[in-house]
Amino acid sequence: MHEHDIDWAGMAERLITEGEALLPFVTGAAASLAERIAPRRIMDIGAGPGVAACALAQRFPDAEVIAVDGSEQLLERAAERARSMGMRLTTRVAEFPDGFADLPEADLIWTSHVLHHVGDQAAAVRALAGKLHPGGILAIAEGGLTTRFLPRDTGLGRPGLEARIEAAATEWFSRMRAGLPHAADVVEDWPTMLAASGLVEAGSRSYLIDRPAPLHDGFRAFVRSQFVRAAETLAEDLDAEDLATLTTLAGDGQDSIAHRSDVYILAARTVHSAARPQPR
């Protein structure tokens, strides 16, 4: 199965737990953006079940926030989340980038870990930049530091498992990118892509996610979901010993993520942003 064939709606619970676990980078980026702009309209492209969109609505209560996604089922979850939080949120079903032309312009466009699913990332940046009002900001969350969850030596298998998972995932990611429709090789220098799209003041800033052990059950569920997915995705990329260790960690036994006291979440996510120039 290619990445673009994944049933994202079927992953709703996993996407919600991931969004909540990594939420500090969204709230941190929103606080930084609030120092630069007071948007009247915000669009979250690839909003999924709405965790980030609701955080943006909370930070900018006077703005119209539009959650955009190709999955109507995920947008229903986003609308439900907004109602439960007392947030105002509009939803629009649109594929990206094919269905993007019919969307309105906005003062702030946010997209998180979506563009690496698009074959031609530079063209996607240009499309997003073209939807900004003058003075508006495009913020793209891509990259950062790989998330770590466990000590180097877990007492299972060889030490350094997560480093080897990262190496295997890098190879898998390259294959995934190569298999996307209209895949185009590009240096993933996001500020340069933003500037090439006619935007100004391009730059990057990273935000820390630090959830120390012991984790509560919700965040622990996120970590387990990451190990489950790694075991499914990287089964052919890891050696037998590492795959057995990964399967144990993803399971329900005493050595699994579900029962370990040393599980944590430590990561950094990077947000690249730039503004559409004001007319002279």
Rounded distance, CA 90 to CA 75, Å? 9
Q: Burial code of 17-32, b = ≥16 C-beta within 10 A, e = fewer? A: bbbebbebbbebbbee
Mean pLDDT within 52-56: 98
Residue 14, token pair as written in the block = 């996993």
Percent of the chain at pLDDT > 90 equals 89
The pLDDT, as a whole number, for residue 96 is 83
pLDDT digits (tens, 9 = 90+) for 206-242: 999 999 999 998 899 999 999 999 999 999 999 999 9
pLDDT digits (tens, 9 = 90+) for 77-110: 999 999 999 999 999 999 888 888 889 999 999 9
The pLDDT, as a whole number, for residue 207 is 98
Rounded distance, CA 4 to CA 37, Å? 34
Domain 3-275: top CATH class: alpha beta
Q: Residue 114: pLDDT above 90?
A: yes
The pLDDT, as a whole number, for residue 2 is 43
Please name the helix (run of DSSP H) or strand (run of DSSP E) that holds residue 265, with its range, or none.
Answer: strand 265-275
Angle of CA points 265, 220, 145, to nearest 5°: 25
What's this model's pTM, rounded to 2 decimal places?
0.94
Angle of CA points 234, 235, 239, to nearest 5°: 100
Residue with tokens 């942003």: 273
- DSSP states of 199-232: -EEEEEEEEEEEEPSSPPHHHHHHHHHHHHHHHH
